[in-house]
């Protein structure tokens, strides 16, 4: 009888711990090369689902997991990783291959290649949104594209905290 109770208690504790972990974290596989060289296709990432709860907002430089509006209808690649470049109130523009935030050039040691294809007129990040870019600018669909545009805070699923 004692063994049965111990087994049931262990099973309940294990299930409870698993449920808590599933609520707090998500493991996702990187499905494209838009974040090279920081993240490679096939890498696994651990995402904190609670990083931006209780009024906490993403910071510039955070890598976030977000809903992918382009493919959400099919369910294929329904999430994407991107780096936060602009937060509410920031002005972002690209000229001469350099990203500027609030009229200051952004120092980006994580970008795949020097420079960025194309120019971008200044945009202001509205309240409740962020401006995101992929680290591999030539192969990234991000806030420069109308299909992604400014990312609503509601579409952010969490912050990447570990990769392997």
What's the longest Cα–Cα distance across the chain? 75
At 2 the pLDDT is 67
Q: Give just the sign of the alpha carbon dihedral 123, 157, 141, 59.
A: positive
What percent of the chain has a predicted confidence (pLDDT) above 90? 59
Residues of the chain short of pLDDT 70, as ranges, are 1-2, 4, 6-14, 16-19, 69-77, 114-117
* CA neighbours closer than 13 Å in the CB half-sphere of residue 42: 0
At 22 the pLDDT is 76
At 54 the pLDDT is 83
Please give the order of strands across the beta sheet that includes 91-95.
Answer: 104-105, 98-101, 91-95, 120-124
The distance from CA 30 to its chain's CA centroid, rounded to whole angstroms, is 11
Domain range 25-163, its CATH number among 2.10.109.10, 3.30.420.40, 2.30.30.110, 3.10.520.10: 2.10.109.10
At 15 the pLDDT is 73
At 116 the pLDDT is 66
Reported as type and span, the H/E element at residue 104 is strand 104-105
At 119 the pLDDT is 85
């Amino acid at each position: 009888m004692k063994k049965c109770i111990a087994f049931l208690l262990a099973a309940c504790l294990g299930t409870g711990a698993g449920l808590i972990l599933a609520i707090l974290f998500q493991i996702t596989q990187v499905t494209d090369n838009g974040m090279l060289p920081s993240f490679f296709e096939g890498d696994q990432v651990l995402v904190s689902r609670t990083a931006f709860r209780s009024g906490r907002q993403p910071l510039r430089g955070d890598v976030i997991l977000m809903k992918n509006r382009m493919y959400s209808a099919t369910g294929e690649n329904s999430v994407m990783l991107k780096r936060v470049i602009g937060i509410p109130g920031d002005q972002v523009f690209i000229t001469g291959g350099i990203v500027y935030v609030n009229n200051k050039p952004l120092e980006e040691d994580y970008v795949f290649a020097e420079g960025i294809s194309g120019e971008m007129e200044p945009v202001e990040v509205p309240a409740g949104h962020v401006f995101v870019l992929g680290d591999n600018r030539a192969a990234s669909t991000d806030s420069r594209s109308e299909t992604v545009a400014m990312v609503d805070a509601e579409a952010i699923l969490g912050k990447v905290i570990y990769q392997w």
